[in-house]
Structure 1
Amino acid sequence: MNTPPSQQALKSDTFGRILLVEQDGRRFIRRDLRAGPWWLRGVARWLARREARALQHLEGLAATPELLASTRQRLDRSYMPGLAMYQRPPRGDLAYFRAARALLQQVHRRGVAHNDLAKEANWLVREDGTPAVIDFQLAVIGNPRSRWMRLLAREDLRHLLKHKRMYCGQSLTPVERRVLARHSWVRDLWFRTGKPVYRFVTRRILYWEDNEGQGPKP
């Protein structure tokens, strides 16, 4: 007989609530889509479907979550022990960033571009000091050899290299510095058009600050 689950809220935002659930001796993460405003639940479900599809493509990749269940009301994924990058900064840890780049290459080979790696909250430093990536709500799936997916993969890499510049800048290679210096048209278009709209909606309508992926400010 299953025991009732214990739940600990980790984060709440306009698209739901993230819970750490413990049941029958196992721990997992639940994205509760019912916790947000009713008028945003359609968007929350759409984002959850994107995440579920991405996790299915990444099945078996140890440094990404495992999809456990996905319904109209929730998404369950495996729990990955560790701390967000901003909570445990990998300062001077070249091994971390080498492993993170290798992880990104594996994700991209599966035909998945994360598309939200500027947030340090989406990079974990696990208990053994190795990297993991979470939160695939904005992931894009496609042929990894297509021009579009290669462009998105390059943007993922640029975001990783920005973190490396912050915490391990002395180890940036000349090639990595050139990648950082070269902005794609996707990035420029986002900053000119998408980001102002995003800020207006989240800050003026939803009263929500991104706050490094931690959700609304008190």
Structure 2
Amino acid sequence: MNDDVIEITALKADSFGRIALMRGSRGVFVRRDLSASPWWLRFPAWRLARREARAIAQLNGLADTPQLLAWDGVRLDRSYMEGAAMYQKPPRGDVAYFHAARRLLLQVHQRGVAHNDLAKEANWLVLSDGRPALIDFQLAVLGRPRSRWMRLLAREDLRHLLKHKRTYCPEALTPVERRLLKRHSWLRDLWFRTGKPVYRFVTRKLLKWEDNEGQGPKP
């Protein structure tokens, strides 16, 4: 991996690594550096970064998703998309944004990728021209798009998008979308009964950071 780069600014830092905006011979890009992780979290950080590298490689060429530039087991470089997180630039009343977001999500699923972390507004971007984009594929799952498991995960991805639509553009929800929001899968119920309490204990008690209601951990 080419080390002839300079850091422009840090974007986020947590126990699983440091994310920074970099500039090099190939232009501006984003780097996730696992060397910033404490030694006892290095393995799970590596697993998450490897999962992200595999997911964005699977999406190679798909617009409005990151493109993999390099991954050497310690540093993951991906393309930079100019924009702001959804919570920073809320798409209030922007029906076109949510229509485009649903089309983008369908394309991601057709590539055999379920994002699996779309409740976080920080993972939805509003690009400089108003288009949606997706980032942070650390929890993504890869599989056959038509398998029952992947269809279930895809539906959960969609439900999370519709929850954001309900927040920022409720008048545009269709009757079908409202029914989908009311249907809770066994996966969602299992997460709230078991996974979420464990997640909160690990992140808030052990790692000492707050998730800020989906806006990402504090640097």
Q: 1:73, CA displacement in angstroms?
A: 1.0
> Displacement of 1:102 after TM fit?
0.2
- Displacement of 1:190: 0.2
Shift of 1:216: 3.1
Asked if 1:31 is matched to 2:32, the reply is yes
Q: Secondary structure at the match of 2:98?
A: helix
Question: What SS does structure 2 have at the residue aligned with 1:28?
Answer: strand
Where 1:186 maps in the other structure, the secondary structure is helix
1:79 and 2:86 correspond: no
Offset at residue 5 of structure 1 (A): 2.0
SS class of match (1:63) = coil
Q: Which residue of 2 aligns with 1:125?
A: 126
Distance (whole Å) between structure 2 residues aligned to residue 198 and residue 136 of structure 1: 17
- Equivalent position of 1:6 in the other structure: 6
The 1-side partners of 2:113 and 2:20 are apart by 25
Aligned partner of 2:77: which letter? D
1:56 deviation in Å?
Answer: 1.1
Q: Deviation of residue 25 (structure 1)?
A: 6.1
CA gap 1:25/1:112 in 2 versus in 1, 3 angstroms:
closer
> Which residue in the other structure is 1:205 paired with?
206
The answer to whether the Cα contact below 8 Å between 1:3 and 1:24 also exists between their aligned partners in 2 is: no
- When the two chains are superposed, the root-mean-square deviation of aligned CA atoms in Å is 1.3
Q: Deviations over 1:133-192 (max 9, x none)?
A: 000000000011000000000000000000000000000000000000000000000000
- What is the alpha-carbon distance in structure 1 between the residues aligned to residue 48 and residue 125 of structure 2? 21
TM-score by length of 1: 0.96
Identity over aligned pairs, percent = 71
Give 2:190's aligned residue: 189
Per-residue displacement from partner, 1:90-110 (whole Å, max 9, x unpaired)?
000000000000000000000
Q: Is the 8 A contact 2:53 2:68 kept in 1?
A: yes
Q: Greater shift after overlay, 2-11 or 80-89?
A: 2-11
CA distance in 2, matches of 1:4, 1:204: 38
Note the residue ranges of structure 1 that are not aligned, 5 or more in a row. Answer: none
- Provide the secondary structure at the position in 2 that maps to 1:68: strand
Unaligned runs of 5+ residues in structure 2 are none
Q: TM-score, normalised on structure 2?
A: 0.96
How far apart are the structure 1 equivalents of 2:26 and 2:10? 18
Letter in 1 for 2:79: S
For 1:139 and 1:176, how far apart are their aligned partners in 2?
23
Cα distance, 1:6 vs structure 2: 1.9
Counterpart AA for 1:83: A
Instruction: Give yes or no for the alignment of 1:214 onto 2:216.
Output: yes
2:205 and 2:121 map into 1 onto residues whose CA distance is: 24
Once the two structures are superposed, the pairs formed by residues 44-123 of structure 1 within 5 Å of their partners are 44-123=45-124
- Residues of 1 paired with 2:72 and 2:47: CA distance? 11
Shift of 1:29: 0.2
For 1:216 and 1:126, how far apart are their aligned partners in 2? 22
1:32-57 Cα deviation digits (max 9, x unpaired): 00101111010010001100110111
Asked if structure 2 preserves the Cα contact closer than 8 Å seen for 1:112 and 1:140, the reply is yes
Q: Which amino acid aligns with 1:5?
A: V
Q: Residue 152 of structure 2 aligns with which residue? A: 151
Give, in whole Å, the separation in 1 of the partners of 2:142 and 2:25. 34
State the distance in 1 between where 2:17 and 2:93 align. Answer: 36
Q: How does 1:133-144 map to 2 (within 5 A)?
A: 133-144=134-145
Other structure's SS at 2:169 match? helix
